[in-house]
Amino acid sequence: MHRLFVGLAVATLLAGCGGTKPVDPVNLLMAPYTGDVPGASLLVIKDGKAVLDRSYGLANLEDDDETKPATNYRLASISKQFTAAAILLLAEQGRLKLDDPVRQWLPSLPETTSAVTLRQLLDHTGGLVDYEDLIPPGTTGQVSDNDVLSILSATPKTYFAPGTAYRYSNTGYVLLGLVVERASGYSLPLYLKQQIFQPLGMNHTLLYESGGPEVDDRAYGYSEVNGQWTRTDQSVTSATRGDGGIYSSVEDLAKWDAALYDNRLLSDASRKLAFSPHVKVTGEPYEASYGYGWRITGDTLWHSGESIGFRNVIVRWPKQHLTVILLSNRNEPEPYRTALEIAKPWLQEP
């Protein structure tokens, strides 16, 4: 990323010499995504309006499908804010309580997890073991949510006493997705569709499951291997749901962003819970606290999403009514700092 910003400075300097046309700074920042390569969709929203909406590169290299605002990317861990919202909605509906022990809903979990609550899973203070580290060597089939539950049910070990520390946990959000199903009586994809996506008009967003509805305008993930782009769309852990299985576009995420300013979906109290700093983030390369499905840094609410072949970020400045969404179908570059750089002109406005 350092090379990117050096390139920006050099190009700006060159543009000022010899009367050449000034380089668009956003396009320069997005240059890695440009051309016949895995691409990205970028949206900047200011005061409820799209002030910058651009797409770069290809969603499918094999078919030369160009990206567009309606292209749907695997959100990876950005999905966690939707799982958290589902839990908060069920709490509002009286179907569960945030301080319920997770074993109340998933009784097969070992006795060592008896003090772990849903609230602690939401902010990554549950201390449960990472399921990725428990997958048997040589596993080739995709691991399901129920597989994760089975693995955890046979694992008495925990990292720490619940509520005493922070450790980012995909395990916790997989289990929260299963709790949504137990508490609602609906499958997780259907609950999200009926209670979140459809009410907000996110009509092309879905929690993807093999054998279920196909993803419209789907971007496929790629990784650069020995200088060549290789499709790496799925891995052993790509079938789990509550921690990262949603596909969406910048178009639909604009509707999600709008709903986070008022009570059309979540109550004021639920949004305050989601956006409050419950614990300091540790073991990650950013200064942040964690809410429920959101990292909190200064005035920003944000979350990244990384899965094999996808790198995404959504960054919100609620006080300034500014949001940057950057979704990409490639393993690099990391988009968070790019999004912060893109936001600067709007943050500097009086």
CA distance 59 to 328: 9
**100: exposed, middle or buried (Cβ count in 10 Å: 0-12, 13-18, 19+):** middle
DSSP string, 53-93: EEEESEEETTTTEEP-TT-BEE-GGGGHHHHHHHHHHHHHT
The predicted pLDDT at position 157 comes to 96
Q: Name 344's Cβ contacts closer than 8 Å, sequence gap at least 6.
A: none
Core vs surface per residue 307-332: b (16+ CB within 10 A) or e: bbbbbbbbbbbeeeebbbbbbbbbbe
The predicted pLDDT at position 237 comes to 83
The predicted pLDDT at position 5 comes to 41
Token pair 């609550």 is at which residue? Answer: 117
Q: What is the pTM of this model?
A: 0.93
108 catalytic? Reply is no
Instruction: Compute φ and ψ for 186, nearest 5 degrees.
Output: -120, 155
**268: exposed, middle or buried (Cβ count in 10 Å: 0-12, 13-18, 19+):** exposed
Radius of gyration of the chain (CA): 20
Sequence ranges of the domains in the chain = 1-33, 34-347
Q: Which helix (H) or strand (E) holds 139?
A: none
Query: Would you say 338 and 1 are in contact if contact means Cβ atoms under 8 Å apart?
Result: yes
Among residues 33, 65, 70, 49, the alpha carbon closest in space to that of 249 is found at 70
pLDDT beneath 50: ranges in the chain: 1-17
Looking at residue 194, the DSSP 8-state letter turns out to be I
Q: Name 208's Cβ contacts closer than 8 Å, sequence gap at least 6.
A: 74, 215, 245, 246, 247
Catalytic: which of 55, 77, 79, 307?
Answer: 77
Instruction: Say which CATH topology domain 34-347 has.
Output: Beta-lactamase (3.40.710)
